[in-house]
């Protein structure tokens, strides 16, 4: 079975070598699976691109895609999802807050053939204000959508058929599990994953972006969700 990854990155030079090393060691441990890793450089201004090229030069499982201009995570995922060939597709951030070595917990669920394998971060290492903002945001999402998920899915796997030609827009990458659920992916498994503090760089998520900007964005997402925008029959 082929397993795919789509991993956008932007100015993560200081994290990428350790991230890629951990990911490579993780996928190397699964002899009965094949992997393809699609790394999408979202027009980084540091030396991350060169580091990735050097790292993957002798490993055909890895592929680097360059965006001409910075397009954001959602656009990166949409591009990557249209390229993947695996039966399952995983997303994970490259900032090392999620541990690639936790892939073993996801792979234990693959044989059960779930539609969604959700990594749940039980002890998040964000700073206190961001944890509070995230908790408030999660309560709002659950109240408005009746979400079955305990996490937003920074490390998560999907059956690829549910994300093929998916009509993502704005910051829809934040809602991928809910979108897949809407598209028929109702068989869900959860695994507990470790969450680590960010050592290098800074997160694009702030209290302001999570609440002040995120709430109107959430409302528009819910409208699209409730009006069938993401349903597979409406896929262009």
pLDDT digits (tens, 9 = 90+) for 88-117: 999 999 999 899 999 999 999 999 999 999
What's the first-to-final CA gap in the chain, in angstroms?
A: 28
Query: Which of the four pLDDT bands, split at 50, 70 and 90, describes residue 128?
Result: low
Give me the DSSP letters along 42-93: ---SSSHHHHHHHHHTT-TTEEEEE-SS---HHHHHHHHHTT--SSEEEE--
- Assess contact for 36 and 85: CB atoms under 8 A: yes
**CA pseudo-torsion sign 175, 181, 184, 189:** positive
Give residue limits of the domains in the chain.
2-234
- Assess contact for 88 and 158: CB atoms under 8 A: yes
What is the token pair recorded at 149? 């998920």
pTM to 2 decimal places: 0.87
Average pLDDT over residues 50-79: 96
Q: Above 80 in pLDDT, residue 169?
A: yes
Helix (H) / strand (E) element for 218: namely: helix 214-226
What values do phi and psi take at 200, rounded to 5? -115, 145
**What is the architecture of the domain spanning 2-234?**
Alpha-Beta Complex (3.90)
- Assess contact for 165 and 79: CB atoms under 8 A: no
Average pLDDT over residues 65-87: 96
The C-alpha atoms of residue 167 and residue 229 are separated, in whole angstroms, by 8
């Amino acid at each position: 079975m082929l397993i795919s990854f789509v991993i956008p990155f932007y100015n993560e030079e200081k994290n990428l070598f350790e991230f890629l090393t951990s990911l490579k060691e993780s996928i190397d441990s699964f002899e009965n699976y094949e992997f393809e890793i699609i790394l999408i450089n979202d027009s980084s201004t540091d030396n991350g691109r060169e580091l990735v090229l050097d790292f993957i030069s002798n490993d055909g499982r890895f592929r680097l895609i360059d965006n001409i201009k910075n397009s954001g995570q959602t656009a990166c995922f949409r591009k990557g999802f249209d390229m993947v060939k695996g039966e399952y597709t995983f997303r994970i951030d490259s900032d090392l807050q999620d541990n690639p070595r936790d892939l073993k917990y996801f792979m234990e669920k693959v044989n059960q053939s779930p539609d969604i394998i959700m990594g749940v971060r039980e002890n998040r290492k964000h700073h206190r204000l961001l944890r509070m903002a995230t908790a408030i945001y999660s309560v709002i999402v659950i109240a408005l959508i009746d979400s079955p998920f305990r996490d937003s899915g920074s490390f998560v796997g999907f059956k690829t058929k549910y994300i093929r030609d998916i009509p993502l827009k704005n910051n829809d990458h934040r809602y991928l599990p809910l979108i897949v659920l809407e598209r028929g992916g109702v068989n869900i498994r959860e695994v507990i994953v470790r969450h680590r503090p960010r050592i290098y760089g800074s997160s694009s998520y702030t209290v302001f972006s999570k609440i002040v900007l995120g709430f109107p964005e959430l409302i528009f997402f819910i409208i699209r969700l409730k009006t069938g925008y993401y349903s597979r029959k409406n896929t262009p």
